[in-house]
Amino acid sequence: MDILFEIIVPKLPHIEGLEPQQFTYEWSGVAHLQGSTTFRWGNIELVPDQVQPWLLRFLPNNYVSDQWLWLQISSSSLELLEKELNGEPVDWSGRHLEDLLKLILSENKKWVLIFEPNYDEIDSAYNLDVVGCINKLKSNLKWGAKREGFIAFA
């Protein structure tokens, strides 16, 4: 799936089972950190990402601060949701992407969700609540639907 899927939030709330992971490698008996810290919740991986300043033009002025977390959600998680919405059996291992989005977004008064097909396609920006945002995401994952690149924010 060739889609950039990110959430941008002021803080990542404490969510049971959402665990930070830092990979290491060993060289000459010494452990060295490799890459940045990622977060896992079952099959779902959140990877810290770089600020993409050009996306900020779709938001109200000064909406996002440079202290906010830019977290890319793994495309495999989005693929699972797409399969489920289109009637294929999916094993979420007890941790569903929709639930994680609700937990993270509802704990922040302001947030941003980016759904960007081909990593370069934003068609619309919407001021939505969490449920409206998730419904917009789901409508874009139905097979046969024209995908709309969008930014949703609250």
Please count the structural domains in the chain.
1
C-alpha of 59 from chain center: 17
DSSP element (H, E) containing 136: helix 130-141
Residue among 124, 127, 126 nearest 146 (CA): 124
Residue among 92, 134, 141, 95 nearest 111 (CA): 134
Domain residues for the domain of 47 are 3-153
Q: Which residue do the tokens 């996002």 mark?
A: 64
Q: Which residue do the tokens 């945002």 mark?
A: 133
Q: What is the predicted pLDDT for the residue at 33?
A: 67
Contacts of 132 (CB under 8 A, 6+ apart): 126, 152
37-42-47 Cα angle (round to 5): 30
Alpha-carbon gap, residue 9 to 67, rounded angstroms? 9
SS3 category, 6: strand
Per residue in 86-145, pLDDT (tens digit) is: 999 999 989 999 999 999 999 999 999 999 999 889 999 999 999 999 999 999 999 999
67-69-71 Cα angle (round to 5): 160
Per residue in 17-72, pLDDT (tens digit) is: 998 887 777 888 887 767 778 999 998 999 999 888 899 999 999 999 989 999 99
Q: What is the mean pLDDT of the chain?
A: 92
